[in-house]
Amino acid sequence: MTVKQPYASRLVQGEKRIENRSRPTSRRGVIAIHAGKALHEHYRAEHVDGVADMPRSVIVGTVEIVDCHEATLGCSVDGVDCSALGGFVATSWEPVFHWVVTNPQEARPPLAHARGALGFWVVPADIEHEVVTGEASDGR
């Protein structure tokens, strides 16, 4: 799935264990994290060190989705408050869902360029090998 920076890198580096989304997911398992072309809106205007230089329009690694719950004040994962894991709680009437991820694997260097999309999308077959093995496929 596509995530805007700096959150894409923070997910695959294990700094962020909660992905905040407006919809729940029943999907579980390993997914590729693609860094979107645009920075997250909170980082566009501010010049936070390093964020503008983070890889974009590439797959930065993988995480494993293990759980999902609706965000509430004080919700937690394994006894740790979600807010300490990168989780937000809704400030308006719109619900927020916490997608809990584990097993972060950062691809170094980032893998093939790819176009992002909303929601889950299928990694093109020609770069799937790279994502799974971390090795560039032939001819690259």
Give the footprint of Zn ion on this chain (CB under 5 A): 71, 75, 82, 87, 98
- Between 26 and 133, name the residue whose CB sits nearer to Zn ion: 26
- Between 61 and 87, name the residue whose CB sits nearer to Zn ion: 87
Rounded to a whole number of angstroms, the minimum distance from the CB of residue 82 to Zn ion is: 3
- Between 4 and 98, name the residue whose CB sits nearer to Zn ion: 98
Rounded to a whole number of angstroms, the minimum distance from the CB of residue 22 to Zn ion is: 14
- Between 100 and 112, name the residue whose CB sits nearer to Zn ion: 100
* Helix, strand, or coil (residue 52): helix
- Between 66 and 75, name the residue whose CB sits nearer to Zn ion: 75
Rounded to a whole number of angstroms, the minimum distance from the CB of residue 93 to Zn ion is: 18
CA dist., res. 48 & res. 19, Å (int): 20
For the chain, where are the alpha helices, taking DSSP H only? Answer: 7-12, 41-44, 125-133
Of the candidates 62, 65, 54, 72, the residue with the CA atom closest to the CA atom of residue 28? 65
Rounded to a whole number of angstroms, the minimum distance from the CB of residue 89 to Zn ion is: 8
State how far Cα 7 lies from the chain centre. Answer: 6
Rounded to a whole number of angstroms, the minimum distance from the CB of residue 136 to Zn ion is: 37
Of the candidates 62, 127, 32, 59, the residue with the CA atom closest to the CA atom of residue 137? 127
> Taking CA 28 as the corner, what is the angle to CA 107 and CA 101, rounded to the nearest 5 degrees?
50
